[in-house]
Amino acid sequence: MDIVVENLVQVFGDAPKQVLALDRVSHRFPSQKFTCILGPSGCGKSTLAQIVGGIEPYTSGTVTVGSDEQPLGTHSVMVWQHLNLFPWRSVIDNVAFGLEMQGVGKAERFERAKALIASVGLRGFEQHRPPQLSGGMRQRVALARALIMERPVILMDEPFAALDAQTKIVMQEELVRIYERSKRTILFVTHAIDEAILLGDEIVVMTARPGRIKEVIKVDLPRPRSQDMVNTPEFGRLYDRALHLIREEVLNAMQQQDAAAG
């Protein structure tokens, strides 16, 4: 389902110390497409994702998910950088937690959880607990926990930022595989240009605070995608374009930080 954001404004704090985080952001995030939101630190990209997910209230504007008038968050699920797994619960109990909260019986929720655990390559780890798993394995558990809810919209806030380089590559390719199979609408917040190109159908480039949409880059690379594309001329052209846009905004953000410190 489409996500439509119109003239979205988010202001934090009270006068005279108000912070304008988002300034008149408007965009239609297309249904069943993978949109990456790229921008410097503090530009409001995570705030935007949390507003769409009904986690963060907003100051003004409109946000519509689908064609009905259900509260924000009804159709979406969030995957965070900090996974928020329950360390005392097993993998299968973590994955099935959302269904448990919905009152789904143990047999049904475990059956569905086992299928998803297998689909993300963790068959045999159902009874392990998160502290017994690697970072990449814990991220797979978090993905399975989100997918089991069968929401049409998945919001992801820098989910791979804390992973080492090799594990990050594996998880990116895993997410590409899951997306191509399930065709959910995905909003993916990232700092990484190469990640945005590898994953996204479009890249929404945001300005330094206050966050505005600077440009939307269409990514026409064929799917399925893998790291093999990184060295192609097409990937390079997209990377150069995004780098040119984001470099300006990173410099602006650094100047804002210097001014605040001074």
**188 and 253 share one domain:** yes
CA distance 102 to 133: 27
Last residue of a domain, one of 150, 182, 207: 150
- The whole-number pLDDT of residue 234 equals 95
Q: Is 89 a domain residue?
A: yes
**96 and 174 share one domain:** no
- The whole-number pLDDT of residue 60 equals 96
Residue 164 exposure: Cα atoms within 13 Å on the Cβ side: 6
Q: Is 11 a domain residue?
A: no
What's the CATH code of the domain at 179? 3.40.50.300
Q: Tell me the average pLDDT across 181-194.
A: 92
**50 and 107 share one domain:** no
Q: How many distinct structural domains can be found in the chain?
A: 2
Strand ranges inside the chain, DSSP E: 3-12, 19-29, 34-38, 60-65, 76-80, 153-157, 185-190, 202-206, 213-218
- The whole-number pLDDT of residue 212 equals 95
Last residue of a domain, one of 150, 177, 203: 150
**89 and 214 share one domain:** no
**166 and 231 share one domain:** yes
**93 and 220 share one domain:** no
Instruction: List, in order, residues 6 or more apart from 7 with CB less than 8 Å away.
Output: 24, 25, 26, 60, 61, 62
What pTM did the predictor assign? 0.90
- The listed range with the strongest mean pLDDT (120-124, 175-179, 214-218) is 214-218
CA distance 159 to 146: 12
Q: Which residue carries 């190469």 as its tokens? A: 194
- Rg of the chain in Å (alpha carbons): 19
Q: Is 3 a domain residue?
A: no
Domain, as residue range, for 191? 30-55+68-75+160-261
Q: Is 2 a domain residue?
A: no
Q: Tell me the average pLDDT across 186-197.
A: 94
**106 and 229 share one domain:** no
**229 and 189 share one domain:** yes
- The whole-number pLDDT of residue 262 equals 65
Instruction: List, in order, residues 6 or more apart from 81 with CB less than 8 Å away.
Output: 157, 158, 159, 160, 161, 162
Q: Tell me the average pLDDT across 200-214.
A: 94
Q: Tell me the average pLDDT across 76-88.
A: 85
Q: Which residues of 164-178 are buried (b: 16+ CB within 10 A; e: fewer)?
A: eeebbbbbbbbbbbb
**170 and 110 share one domain:** no
Whole-Å CA distances, 89 to 86, 94, 174, 243: 6, 6, 24, 42
pLDDT tens per residue, range 26-49: 999 999 999 999 998 888 999 999
pLDDT tens per residue, range 137-175: 888 898 889 889 889 999 999 988 878 888 888 888 888
**pLDDT cut 90: percent of the chain above it:** 62
**146 and 111 share one domain:** yes
Judge contact between 231 and 217, C-beta under 8 A.
no
Q: Is 127 a domain residue?
A: yes
**pLDDT cut 70: percent of the chain above it:** 99
Q: Is 37 a domain residue?
A: yes
Please check the confidence at residue 226 and state whether its pLDDT lies above 90: no
**257 and 170 share one domain:** yes
- The whole-number pLDDT of residue 3 equals 94
3 state SS of 34: strand
Last residue of a domain, one of 94, 117, 150: 150
Please check the confidence at residue 96 and state whether its pLDDT lies above 90: yes
Mean pLDDT of the chain: 90
Q: Is 96 a domain residue?
A: yes
Judge contact between 27 and 82, C-beta under 8 A.
no
CA distance 136 to 144: 12
pLDDT tens per residue, range 241-252: 999 999 988 888
**91 and 117 share one domain:** yes
CA distance 118 to 122: 5
pLDDT tens per residue, range 101-138: 999 999 999 999 999 898 888 999 999 999 999 888 88
pLDDT tens per residue, range 1-34: 899 999 999 999 887 788 999 999 999 999 999 9
